[in-house]
């Protein structure tokens, strides 16, 4: 596994935790400007919906999808 993949996995894990905890500012910081894969975006939106956090749902829905 390359260092790039390890950071990607750690970042995604931190993003999931921030969403589950309702930490909107952390979610913004972790998302940055990088596009998400469609499956990642869908999963994270579903996670945010479980917590009924509309602010985070809107952030995720606005994220670009990697093609």
Both tokens assigned to 57: 């749902």
Q: Where are the domains of the chain?
A: 3-61
Distance between CA 67 and CA 30 in Å, rounded?
20
Q: Give the torsion through C-alpha atoms of 29, 33, 37, 42, to 10 deg.
A: 50
pLDDT tens track for 3-48? 444 458 889 999 999 999 999 999 999 998 889 999 999 999 999 9
Give just the sign of the alpha carbon dihedral 38, 41, 46, 47.
positive
Q: What is the pLDDT of residue 15?
A: 95
């Amino acid at each position: 596994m390359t260092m790039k993949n390890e950071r990607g996995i750690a970042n995604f894990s931190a993003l999931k935790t921030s969403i589950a905890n309702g930490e909107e500012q952390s979610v913004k910081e972790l998302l940055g400007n990088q596009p998400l894969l469609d499956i990642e975006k869908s999963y994270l939106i579903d996670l945010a919906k479980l917590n009924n956090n509309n602010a985070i749902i809107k952030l995720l829905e606005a994220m670009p999808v990697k093609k």
